[in-house]
Amino acid sequence: MAEIIINKKNFEEEVLKSDKPVLIDFWASWCRPCSMLSPVISEIAKEYEGEIKVGKVNVDEEMELAFEFKVASIPMLVVIKDGKVINTSVGVQPKQQIVSMFKDK
């Protein structure tokens, strides 16, 4: 399963009401580090399908969500479980470190 595009309209259903942890990638098309991280996020989405949900939020299109999560730098990753933020990271991270954000919780 590919990543889900998260926006204000589907945020509650896809993220807050999810029965699985949700890894959200806040990104922008002009962001080079985001482009470097994108294939890693796609890989994680495929490898952990059924275990987690992976979503992407374009900060240029979803400024309200970016503001709500206090996104100051991108890429920013947020893990939400049972409607609550359980982990965040900013910048390009190695795959294993990203996986540990939702595996160790």
Q: Average pLDDT for consecutive 10-residue bins of the chain (105 residues)?
A: 90 95 97 96 95 96 96 97 95 95 78
Active-site pick, 28, 31, 86, 99: 31
Domain architecture of the chain: domains with CATH: 4-103 (3.40.30.10)
Q: Which of 92, 98, 97, 100 is nearest to 73 (CA)?
A: 92
91: left (phi over 0), alpha (psi -120 to 50) or beta: left
In this predicted structure, what is the pLDDT of residue 103?
82
Active-site pick, 34, 71, 77, 101: 34
Q: Is 34 a catalytic residue?
A: yes
In this predicted structure, what is the pLDDT of residue 105?
57
In this predicted structure, what is the pLDDT of residue 104?
65
Q: Is 20 a catalytic residue?
A: no
Give the integer Cα–Cα distance in Å for 104 and 66: 25
